[in-house]
Amino acid sequence: MSDPRVLTISFPLNFPKRFLQAQFRRILAKHHQGRRGAQQAKSDGGARYRFKGQPNIKGLERALKVYDHLEELKAQGVRKPQWKVAMDLNIVEDEFRIHRADTPKTAEDKRRVLTAIAGRLKKKAFDSIQRTGEGIFP
């Protein structure tokens, strides 16, 4: 069985070391295209759902948490602003949360930021779900 992801090499050890190193470098350059950076999802390995890019697990968890909560509210027939969802789910750092001590202008700015964050996460989760249906993850 020939696997294109594996290269098996055999060298006779009675040749000079420099010659063997040169041959190895030549063969490796021919069969292995080096890529910079750490590749977490190097190949699909015959997987049903292939990775597209490098998976960000924490970001995906946050996005799916928002998406699931919004879908649950939608199923219940409850309308809730996205900024309240962001506040309820603790998806942002404390500095972006709305506090009672905030001025009305600051609170409005934070509401807009929270709405944008929740909307972006919902869109990211929706796109990931759609791509997963096409066999590409995330």
Tokens of 64: 């799916």
CA distance 17 to 26: 14
Q: How many CB atoms lie within 10 A of CB 92?
A: 16
Cβ within 8 Å of residue 134, ≥6 positions away: none
Provide the residue-wise pLDDT of the chain in tens; the chain has 138 residues: 567 777 888 888 899 999 999 999 998 888 877 766 655 555 556 666 666 677 788 888 999 999 999 999 999 999 999 999 999 998 888 888 899 999 999 999 999 999 999 999 999 999 988 888 887 776
